[in-house]
Amino acid sequence: MKDLEDRIERAKDGLLEELRDFLRMPSVSASSEDPEGFRACAEWVREKLEAAGAQAEIMETAGHPVVYAEVGSGEKTLLLYGHYDVQPPDPLELWKTEPFEPTVRDGTLYARGVADDKGDVMARIQALRLYTERHGEPPFRLKFLIEGEEEVGSPNLDAFVRENSDRLTADACLWEGSLRDRTGRPEVYCGTKGLAYVELRAKGPDHDLHSMFGGLAPNPAWRLVGALRTIKDERGEITLDGLHELADPPSESDLAALEAIPFDESSLKASWGVESFDRDLTGVDALREYLLAPTANIAGIQSGYTGEGSKTIVPSEAFVKLDFRLVSGQSPDAVVKLLREHLDRRGFTDVEVVDLHGVEAAKTPVDSPVVEQAVAAWDDVGREAVVYPTIGGSGPTALFATGLGIPTVMTGAVANIDSRIHSPNESVRLDDYFETLAYFVRFFERFGR
Amino acid sequence: MKDLEDRIERAKDGLLEELRDFLRMPSVSASSEDPEGFRACAEWVREKLEAAGAQAEIMETAGHPVVYAEVGSGEKTLLLYGHYDVQPPDPLELWKTEPFEPTVRDGTLYARGVADDKGDVMARIQALRLYTERHGEPPFRLKFLIEGEEEVGSPNLDAFVRENSDRLTADACLWEGSLRDRTGRPEVYCGTKGLAYVELRAKGPDHDLHSMFGGLAPNPAWRLVGALRTIKDERGEITLDGLHELADPPSESDLAALEAIPFDESSLKASWGVESFDRDLTGVDALREYLLAPTANIAGIQSGYTGEGSKTIVPSEAFVKLDFRLVSGQSPDAVVKLLREHLDRRGFTDVEVVDLHGVEAAKTPVDSPVVEQAVAAWDDVGREAVVYPTIGGSGPTALFATGLGIPTVMTGAVANIDSRIHSPNESVRLDDYFETLAYFVRFFERFGR
């Protein structure tokens, strides 16, 4: 197997220079300052895909364009999702070197986007080139979908996927976004949680009143406390009618995967500055809650006077922002409906439920072929991967995993837990980058078998 | 009895001019712009008291000075409390005429401070003059305490009262601050509620976390909801351990007084824009809750993200501002202690209780001689007073009523419910002013019998 590593070793300088060219382009999707430069970045990616032997094109959306490419032929199809846009580099003064002048220090490459997600995109394109050099055109259909709006919430991806669902069919999808843990082990994520983000709003008097009327005037903050206490019980367990019933129960394999995750509780608690987890959860119970259970999180709450000292009023309004992270089976629309019914049933018909944002959960079984291949390919490069049945966060993976029914896995970790994604001095270790490049070649080899 | 009214009628122009002189002085205690002008106002009041036959002096405090005066002799002593300072006139653009250029329109006098409290102070001084003109020096000891810091919370009154407690002894005290209701009936208040204003603070992680950790990270907003749910039950009843046990039960006379209060529920609800009172209270139950029961009011609450849209975080901190209005027997210090013990007993030892402000309740029995005299003197001028056993608000009356044990009553309503106290276009109807002047003369006559 060593021939691949040798080949990469010999080509390193050129591969790195190519990545650095990609990183020099400030493709900040949140900025409208340089639309031509942004489009030039998409065109650059398209050309690189063409040069690697793919048929590549720019596909328009209502926002920034998608770069789409196909190569190879055969019965099976592999879809790769990534993005060429990056976060804004601010605050600039915290960067040790220019964010768009990629710089190597101590074997680490620093640049905006190197960890999220240009390193990943470049490694996959270079892997296709190396694969083709070794084996010719892939004996399977390989599709690249590289969007330009991930960092602004993929506002047009849903429409794009729906309009192009015929083209996007695949047997498996590799997503971006995985990491290496602190010991260097690559993590493979088999799903993301869903999200129902709502605001509950209560109204009291039509203007703030003197609190001499506190026993008589309806208080909207107390009203919200009343509603919230029906959503979690005294022990902190979620008591939203019907929520747990919607959930697909975790499989035996999910539970077995949990047991195999090295979970450093004390480091996590120390990094948060807390003595214990919520409800004093520990060990596998804590992991199960984190990865396989829904949440009902208060992300924000406000009512009345919140300045210094004491102002005596009955507030006129109150609101709370709640985000429910959801597991497979718990569709956000269904959960918002449950919440409305739950509150109505208890007399809180006056409490408004505003549906702010919803994301479907995505779940690929941990014993799916694509997960097995992802793990085996890490084995091929000498790494023992850690498999997460899902992660705690949410993302657009459901557009493919749930919407198109494509088994989807987040793998290919150029980044590590210290890569400072979205922050100044974003970085990737060069050894990790080249190992991940080899990993994608190995994955293609396995997928082609 | 008509001779008094005739006497006032003849003197009206001069009495009004004197009041206008008082109102022209911008004695805004919250402003430090014109200390000499402020002191000149105190001196003006002192001179008016001297001119009315009293021995008057300026008494220094750590802040603005008190004007103190005594006149008359006899076994009984009556103390009058008022203040010569006023609220700032802002926002100036909303005044129809200059706040410090008193103007009469349609029988109503507009000026900052006319309703709170210069009208009241002037009426009492003019009443002393008229009384003396008719009867000579009062056959009782009459004391005036006119402070200059009421509008900034009387920060030095407590110390002043303690230092001068020997001088301030009295058999009865007339306080400022009463009103006429919408039908013109003067209200007589026999007490004020106490106040314990606290902030509860909860801590979660030492920085805001991504809400992917929402099932695992301790959430301080939920922690506060957990604490708050132990303070009121699902029906909205206060469940703070020991609070109700501290309360002096209302007397039969208090309850009878409640029954006699004309309570226009629909107007009050309409003025707040609400359909119903808290807990659907109505009638005497609502009045009893408003006037004779403690409250546990959320004056403000805040945690996490409270801007537009959806930000997914586990907040690091949360706080709630609670004001407890207290009835006689419920000392604020005792209530804060109860609250701490209540939370500790339920495992909320981590929730900090910050004691921000406390005021003692004050209660003079509705069948006290001073209350009877206050009502009878209104009868003398042809008005049927409405007696409130207490009001919903709090104030420094306890310094005298509770601290010095002086039966204290708020009476003498130059102001009415539309007087716009603390607001632009503050006003008093001239007829009400002169009637109140006559009222104080009648009160002195009754007190002297």
Q: Are residue B303 and residue B409 in the same domain, yes or no?
A: no
How far are the Cα atoms of A213, B250, B255, B291 from residue B259, in angstroms, in the given order? 19, 13, 6, 12
Task: With beta carbons under 8 A apart, name residues in chain A contacting B274.
Answer: 204-206, 217-218
For CA atoms A258, A261, A263, A268, the dihedral sign is negative
Q: With an 8 Å Cβ cutoff, are B321 and A298 in contact?
A: no
Q: What digits encode the pLDDT tens for the residues B97-147?
A: 999 999 999 999 999 999 999 999 999 999 999 999 999 999 999 999 999
Amino acid (1-letter code) at residue A207:
H
Q: Write out residues in chain B with pLDDT < 70, as ranges.
A: 1
Nearest CA to CA, how far is A302 from chain B (Å)? 4
* Whole-number Å distance between alpha carbons of A140 and A331: 33
Predicted confidence at residue B413, as pLDDT, reads 84
Residue B312 has its nearest CB partner, among A197, A274, A293, at A197
Rounded mean pLDDT of A94-99?
A: 96
- Is the CB of B219 inside 8 Å of chain A's CB atoms? yes
Predicted confidence at residue B311, as pLDDT, reads 86
Q: What digits encode the pLDDT tens for the residues A244-273?
A: 999 999 999 999 999 999 999 999 999 999
Q: What letter would DSSP give residue A248? A: P
Residue with tokens 């019933």: A245
pLDDT exceeds cutoff 80 at A208:
yes
Domain assignment present for B180 = yes
Q: Are residue A135 and residue A148 in the same domain, yes or no?
A: yes
Q: Are residue B203 and residue B115 in the same domain, yes or no?
A: no
* Whole-number Å distance between alpha carbons of A165 and A174: 17
Nearest CA to CA, how far is B133 from chain A (Å)? 41
* Whole-number Å distance between alpha carbons of B78 and B172: 5
Q: Are residue A76 and residue A171 in the same domain, yes or no?
A: yes
How far are the Cα atoms of B197, B301, B326 from residue B355, in angstroms, in the given order? 6, 16, 15
pLDDT exceeds cutoff 60 at A308:
yes
Residue A286 has its nearest CB partner, among B197, B216, B236, at B216
Q: Are residue A229 and residue A128 in the same domain, yes or no?
A: no
Q: Are residue A332 and residue A233 in the same domain, yes or no?
A: yes
Q: Given A359, A379, A403, which residue is the final one in a domain?
A: A359
Domain assignment present for A145 = yes
Beta-sheet pairing, B297-304 with B317-326: antiparallel
Supply the Cα-derived Rg of chain B in whole angstroms: 24
Residue B290 has its nearest CB partner, among A213, A225, A325, at A213
Nearest CA to CA, how far is A55 from chain B (Å)? 38
CB A426 within 8 A of CB A420: yes
What total of structural domains would you count in chain B?
2
DSSP letters, B151-181, are GGT-TTHHHHHHHTTTTT--SEEEES---B-
Predicted confidence at residue B1, as pLDDT, reads 54
Looking up residue A352, the CATH number of its domain turns out to be: 3.30.70.360
Predicted confidence at residue B104, as pLDDT, reads 98
How far are the Cα atoms of A181, A199, B32, B301, B319 from residue B205, in angstroms, in the given order? 22, 23, 43, 19, 14
Q: With an 8 Å Cβ cutoff, are B274 and A205 in contact?
A: yes
Domain assignment present for B337 = yes
Predicted confidence at residue B292, as pLDDT, reads 96
CB A316 within 8 A of CB A206: yes
pLDDT exceeds cutoff 80 at A1:
no
pLDDT exceeds cutoff 90 at A129:
yes
Task: With beta carbons under 8 A apart, name residues in chain B contacting A305.
Answer: 299-300, 321
Q: Are residue A149 and residue A212 in the same domain, yes or no?
A: no
Domain assignment present for A349 = yes
* Whole-number Å distance between alpha carbons of B429 and B153: 27
Q: With an 8 Å Cβ cutoff, are B314 and A297 in contact?
A: yes
Q: Are residue A29 and residue A176 in the same domain, yes or no?
A: yes
Q: Which of A447, A398, A365, A432 has the alpha carbon at shortest distance from A179? A: A432
Domain assignment present for A271 = no
Give the residue numbers spanning the domain of A313: 194-247+294-359
Q: Given A326, A343, A359, which residue is the final one in a domain?
A: A359
Which residue in A has a C-alpha nearest to residue B208's C-alpha?
A272
Beta strands in B108-264 (DSSP E): 108-110, 141-147, 172-175, 187-189, 191-192, 194-203, 209-210
Q: Are residue A243 and residue A129 in the same domain, yes or no?
A: no
Domain assignment present for A268 = no
Q: What digits encode the pLDDT tens for the residues A389-434?
A: 999 999 889 999 988 999 999 999 899 988 999 889 999 999 999 9
Q: Are residue A332 and residue A400 in the same domain, yes or no?
A: no
Q: Which residues of A121-155 are buried (b: 16+ CB within 10 A; e: fewer)?
A: bbbbbbbbbbbbeeeeebebbbbbbbbbbbbbebe
Domain assignment present for B237 = yes
Q: Are residue A380 and residue A429 in the same domain, yes or no?
A: yes
Task: With beta carbons under 8 A apart, name residues in chain A contacting B305.
Answer: 299-300, 321
Which residue in B has a C-alpha nearest to residue A297's C-alpha?
B214
C-alpha B385, offset from chain centre: 19
Q: With an 8 Å Cβ cutoff, are A298 and B225 in contact?
A: yes
- State the best of A278, A284, A290 to mutate against chain B, taking most chain B CBs within 10 Å: A278
Q: First-to-last CA distance in chain B?
A: 16
- Is the CB of A332 inside 8 Å of chain B's CB atoms? no
B-facing residues of A in 151-210 (CB < 8 A) are: 193, 195, 197, 204-207, 209-210
Which residue in B has a C-alpha nearest to residue A289's C-alpha?
B215
- Is the CB of B300 inside 8 Å of chain A's CB atoms? yes
CB A443 within 8 A of CB A174: yes
- Is the CB of B347 inside 8 Å of chain A's CB atoms? no
Q: Given A321, A338, A359, which residue is the final one in a domain?
A: A359
Q: Which of B205, B35, B31, B48 has the alpha carbon at shortest distance from B112? A: B31
Rounded mean pLDDT of A10-28?
A: 97
Q: With an 8 Å Cβ cutoff, are B302 and A299 in contact?
A: no
Give the count of beta carbons closer than 10 Å to the beta carbon of residue B67. Answer: 26
- Is the CB of B302 inside 8 Å of chain A's CB atoms? yes
Percent of chain A at pLDDT exceeding 70: 100
Task: With beta carbons under 8 A apart, name residues in chain A contacting B281.
Answer: 216
Whether the predicted interface score ipTM is above 0.85: yes
- Is the CB of A313 inside 8 Å of chain B's CB atoms? yes
Q: Phi and psi at residue A361, in whole multiples of 5°?
A: -70, 155
- Is the CB of B264 inside 8 Å of chain A's CB atoms? no
Looking up residue A43, the CATH number of its domain turns out to be: 3.40.630.10
Q: With an 8 Å Cβ cutoff, are A219 and B281 in contact?
A: no
Domain assignment present for A157 = yes
Q: Supply the mean pLDDT for chain A.
A: 95
Task: With beta carbons under 8 A apart, name residues in chain B contacting A215.
Answer: 278, 289-290, 293-295, 297, 325, 392
Rounded mean pLDDT of A118-143?
A: 98
Residue B272 has its nearest CB partner, among A217, A229, A321, at A217
Q: What digits encode the pLDDT tens for the residues A34-73?
A: 889 999 999 999 999 999 999 999 999 999 999 999 999 9
Give the count of beta carbons closer than 10 Å to the beta carbon of residue B47. Answer: 12
Predicted confidence at residue A12, as pLDDT, reads 97
Size of interface A-B (CB pairs under 8 A): 236
Q: Are residue B18 and residue B143 in the same domain, yes or no?
A: yes
